[in-house]
Amino acid sequence: MIFIFIVLLSGLMYGQEDKKIVAKIESETVEKQLKIKGTVTNNTPTYEELNYLLVSIKRGGNGNLSNNRQSGKFSINPGETKLLSEINVGLENKDALKAFLYIRDEQTQKLISKDSLEINQDFFKKKISQVEKEEAFELKGLTIDETKTKVGRDFYDMFYIQYSQIPDKSSSSIKISELPTRGTSGQINIEIDDKIVYSFITNPSDDYLKEQLVNTLRYIKEFNARKNLIKNEFIY
């Protein structure tokens, strides 16, 4: 009797956990063209009004970065699977790509579900050489991903989306790197001009990463303000 009760309870809990909004990125390649589809499935018993953000970031073999962003509001019925958006990207063998899909509640903006896709991830970790001036010029003002874990990559993706929308970005490149620490955590460093302007210990919580994102943007703004102040003092 106890065994049967446990099995029934486990099945009930599993069914409850399965009733959720599921974001999914699907992809297929046809003649060097990658088609990225953002879909969502409503496994809840209720009608939902949500919004989505589908972003792709491509790094070409020459080091250039490009991105494509699709977003919008949508409604979805119980048990329905809906195609939200499609992005077509030309992809060569030495190109790298990241794509991620975020689903949020329309009213509260709370993150409900997300999914990601990575192709040739290691190509994103190309470092800027101090002696290669032409390459450094091309990468000037961009962000560099040197994270190593899923938590680190999630933070970098959040940072990239937010920072790319800022109109008055720094002309210096910003590097997001990750170092191992004792235990299972790591340390995220945010560097500008080879100087660490902010760092924090990793934590997979979305709320924690959002808090660190706010702190990161604030410290970057303060660093750039001090840098511009010092620069202006030497203008006569």
8 Å CB contact between 213 and 188 = no
pLDDT-derived band of residue 169, with 50, 70 and 90 as boundaries?
A: low
**DSSP code of residue 125:** G
Closest CA to 209 of 158, 164, 145: 158
Q: Three-class SS of residue 222?
A: helix
Strands (E), 60-194: 65-76, 81-90, 96-105, 111-119, 143-146, 174-180, 186-192
Q: Does pLDDT of 163 surpass 90? A: no
How does the average pLDDT of the chain come out, rounded?
78
- Between these two residues, 227 and 147, which has the higher pLDDT value? 147
Closest CA to 201 of 221, 187, 183, 219: 187
Token pair for residue 99?
Answer: 């794509």
Q: Does pLDDT of 168 surpass 80? A: no
8 Å CB contact between 68 and 164 = no
Query: Angle between the 206-233 and 150-164 helix axes, to the nearest 10 degrees?
Result: 50
Measured between its terminal Cα atoms, the distance across the chain in Å is: 88
Decide the pairing of beta strands 174-180 and 143-146. Answer: parallel
pLDDT of residue 188: 95
Span 43-97, pLDDT tens digits:
999 999 998 988 888 887 776 777 777 888 999 999 999 999 998 888 888 888 8
Burial classification of residue 188, based on how many CB atoms lie within 10 Å of its CB (0-12 exposed, 13-18 middle, 19 or more buried): buried
Closest CA to 41 of 54, 23, 26, 27: 23
Query: All domains of the chain, ordered by start, with CATH?
Result: 21-124 (2.60.40.2420), 127-236 (3.30.160)
Span 177-221, pLDDT tens digits:
998 877 778 999 999 877 899 999 999 998 999 999 999 999 998
Q: Does pLDDT of 120 surpass 70? A: yes
